[in-house]
C-alpha cells in the first residue's frame, strides 16, 4: 500500500513526537518539583540557623541578666546583712561581758545571709529555665520585679496547660522578659497582666499594661524600635506570630501566638 505510506509514516512520527514530548514534559515537571522542594528545604535550614542563633542570643541575654541580678543582690542584700553582722560582732571585746541579744541578732543576720545566698545559688543554676516550665520561670521573674513594690504584675492562665519544647519556652520567656523590661523602662505602668491562653496545639500569650502607651505603627516603622522588632522576629522564629497594639495614653498589649505539637 504505497499510497498510504506517507500518511502512516507521518502518523508514526507524530505519535513518537507526542510521546517524547510528554516524556520531556514529565522530566521538566519533576525537575521543577524537585527545585521547589530543595528551595523549601533550604529556607527551612536557614530558618533553623536563625532560630539557633536567636536561641543562643536569648540564653546569653538571660545569663547576663542573671549575673546583673546576682551582683545587685549580693551588693544590696547579702553584702548589707554581712556588713551589719560584722559591725555587730566587732563591738564585742574580750574583757567585756557578752551582750547575748546582740550576738543573737548577729547570728540571725548571718543566717539570713546564708538563706539569701542559697536562694541566689538556686536561681543561678544554669538549668533552672529548663528544669521548670515557662510559668514557673516567669513566677520567679515576676517575684523579682514585684519585690521593688513599684509595679503590680498578675499572671493568669486559661485552658489546659500543655508541655511545649524547651527551646520554644526559652524564646517565649525572653519575649515576655523583653515586654516587662519595656514596661519598666518606658511605660510608667502600675499594673501588668500576663495572660496565657491554651488552645489545642496553640498557645497565646498576652502582655497588657496600663502605662502611657505609644504610637505602635510609627515606632515599628522606625529602625530604632529594635526591642519591639525582636519580639516580633522571635515570635516568628517559633513558627508563630506576634502583634503589638498601643496608642498614646491607652497602654500597650503585646500578643504572641505560637503553635506546639
Partner 1 sequence: MEIKYYQYFQLFSLLLALICRKRLNSFSLGIMIPILILDNLTEILGSNHLSVFHTRGNYFVYNIYFILSTPLFFLLFASMLDGTPRDKRRLLGSGVILETFLLINYFFIQGQTEFDTFSAQLICLACIILSCLVLTRLAVRKDDESGLLHDPVFWINAVLLLFNLVSLIVLGMHKFIVENKLEIANLNLYRAIMPAANAILYSGYSYAFLLCQLQTRK
Which residues of the shown chain bind partner 1 in the complex (CB under 8 A)? 1-2, 5, 8-9, 12-13, 15-16, 19-20, 22-24, 26-27, 30-31, 33-35, 37-38, 41-42
Give the 3-state secondary structure percentages of the chain, helix then strand then coil, rounded to 5: 65, 15, 20
We find the least distance from the C-beta atom of residue 5 to partner 1, in angstroms, to be 6
Least Cα distance to 110 among 137, 136, 83 occurs for 83
We find the least distance from the C-beta atom of residue 35 to partner 1, in angstroms, to be 7
Residue 29 or 50: the one with the smaller Cβ distance to partner 1 is: 29
Sheet holding 241-246, edge to edge: 152-158, 191-199, 202-209, 252-259, 241-246
Residue 245 burial class via C-beta count within 10 angstroms: exposed 0-12, middle 13-18, buried 19 and up: middle
Residue 7 or 115: the one with the smaller Cβ distance to partner 1 is: 7
Under 8 Å between Cβ of 240 and 259: yes
We find the least distance from the C-beta atom of residue 23 to partner 1, in angstroms, to be 5
Q: Which residue has the cell 520567656?
A: 173
We find the least distance from the C-beta atom of residue 48 to partner 1, in angstroms, to be 14
Amino acid at each position: 500500500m504505497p499510497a498510504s505510506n506517507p500518511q502512516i509514516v507521518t502518523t508514526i512520527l507524530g505519535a513518537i513526537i507526542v510521546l517524547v514530548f510528554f516524556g520531556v514534559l514529565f522530566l521538566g515537571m519533576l525537575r521543577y518539583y524537585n527545585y521547589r522542594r530543595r528551595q523549601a528545604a533550604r529556607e527551612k535550614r536557614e530558618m533553623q540557623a536563625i532560630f539557633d542563633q536567636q536561641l543562643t542570643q536569648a540564653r546569653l541575654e538571660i545569663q547576663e541578666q542573671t549575673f546583673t541580678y546576682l551582683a545587685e543582690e549580693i551588693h544590696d542584700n547579702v553584702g548589707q546583712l554581712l556588713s551589719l553582722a560584722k559591725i555587730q560582732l566587732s563591738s564585742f571585746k574580750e574583757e567585756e561581758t557578752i551582750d547575748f541579744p546582740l550576738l543573737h541578732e548577729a547570728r540571725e543576720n548571718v543566717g539570713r545571709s546564708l538563706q539569701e545566698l542559697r536562694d541566689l545559688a538556686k536561681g543561678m543554676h544554669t538549668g533552672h529555665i529548663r528544669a521548670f516550665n515557662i510559668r514557673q520561670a516567669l513566677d520567679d521573674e515576676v517575684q523579682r520585679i514585684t519585690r521593688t513594690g513599684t509595679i503590680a504584675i498578675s499572671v493568669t492562665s486559661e485552658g489546659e496547660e500543655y508541655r511545649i519544647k524547651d527551646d520554644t519556652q526559652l524564646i517565649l520567656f525572653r519575649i515576655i522578659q523583653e515586654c516587662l523590661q519595656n514596661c519598666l523602662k518606658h511605660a510608667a505602668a502600675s499594673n501588668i497582666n500576663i495572660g496565657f491562653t491554651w488552645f489545642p496545639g496553640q498557645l497565646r500569650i498576652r502582655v497588657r499594661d496600663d502605662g502611657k502607651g505609644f504610637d505602635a505603627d510609627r515606632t515599628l516603622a522606625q529602625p530604632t524600635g529594635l526591642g519591639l522588632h525582636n519580639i516580633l522576629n522571635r515570635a516568628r522564629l517559633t513558627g508563630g506570630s506576634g502583634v503589638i497594639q498601643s496608642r498614646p495614653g491607652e497602654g500597650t498589649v503585646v500578643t504572641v501566638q505560637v503553635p506546639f505539637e
